[in-house]
């Protein structure tokens, strides 16, 4: 039993840290957000709500300047103030914002928050086990290698979640009559909007798939569903 103690402690630590992270995220969002009031965005969120048989689909504004959308652990959907500034400046359309909202709804509907909690605890367990093994043969370097492997493993699982949320969003956008074109055009703008240019880190360490791969997957789904 004692030989499993480090693994059990790693899992317990992962669960504790994830719960703390969820609590801190909720507290931050509560303190720094308001309900979005925008007639242009409301027009498209109403179409999403209708496609989901919901009376309304509230969206909240997270008061930070980064360009992003996110789903809170409690299911609330947020757009950042920076994203909404891009919309106000005409750089992003209401339909493109709808594609972000649909994507975040996908994370909620598919239970990705819970899955990421499991992934996080698994990452800690893998790191502890690999470190213990590799440090016997490669002192100090073993810890670095273990961290690299466990990080790459979680990044791969995160990319899986992003593809799934993209597919959910594509289906919802088609059902609502908005279509997937805004989803694709937003992805093509994404690097410029977020200021992320250049090659960046290796694909296997990225927590999000390459934009080109996401667009290709959406286009395959669109052709399958609509023939166009």
Digit-by-digit pLDDT tens for the chain (228 residues) are 555 566 566 666 666 766 777 678 788 888 999 999 998 999 999 999 999 999 999 999 999 998 999 998 889 999 999 999 999 999 999 999 999 999 999 999 998 877 666 666 656 666 666 666 666 666 666 665 656 655 666 666 678 889 999 999 999 999 999 999 999 999 999 878 876 544 444 443 456 788 899 999 999 999 998 775
Query: SS in 3 state form for the chain?
Result: CHHHHHHHHHHHHHHHHHHHHHHHHHHHHHHCEEECCCHHHHHHHHHHHHHCCCCCCCCEEECCCCCCEEECCCCCEEEEHHHHHHHHCCCCCHHHHHHHHHHHHHHHHCCHHHHHHHHHHHHHHHHHHHHHHHCCCCCCHHHHHHHHHHHHHHHHHHHHHHHHHHHHHHHHHHHHCCCCHHHHHHHHHHHHHHCCCCCCCCHHHCCCCCHHHHHHHHHHHHHHHHCC
pTM over 0.85: no
């Amino acid at each position: 039993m004692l030989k499993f103690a480090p693994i059990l402690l790693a899992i317990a630590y992962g669960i504790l840290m994830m719960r703390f992270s969820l609590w801190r995220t909720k507290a931050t969002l509560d303190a720094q957000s308001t309900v979005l009031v925008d007639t242009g965005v409301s027009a498209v969120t109403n179409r999403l709500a209708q496609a989901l048989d919901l009376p309304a689909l509230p969206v909240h504004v997270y008061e930070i300047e980064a360009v992003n959308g996110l789903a809170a652990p409690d299911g609330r959907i947020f757009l950042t103030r920076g994203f909404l500034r891009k919309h106000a400046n005409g750089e992003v359309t209401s339909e493109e914002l709808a594609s972000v909202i649909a994507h975040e709804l996908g994370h909620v509907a598919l239970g990705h928050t819970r899955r990421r909690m499991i992934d996080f605890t698994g990452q800690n367990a893998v790191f502890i086990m690999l470190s213990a093994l590799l440090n016997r043969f490669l002192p100090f370097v073993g810890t670095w290698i273990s961290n690299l492997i466990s990080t790459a493993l979680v990044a791969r699982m995160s990319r899986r979640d992003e593809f799934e949320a993209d597919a959910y969003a594509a289906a919802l956008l088609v059902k609502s009559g908005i279509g997937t074109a805004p989803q694709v055009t937003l992805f093509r703008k994404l690097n410029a909007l977020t200021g992320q240019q250049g090659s960046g880190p290796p694909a296997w360490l990225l927590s999000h798939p390459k934009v080109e791969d996401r667009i290709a997957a959406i286009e395959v789904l669109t052709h399958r569903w609509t023939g166009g």
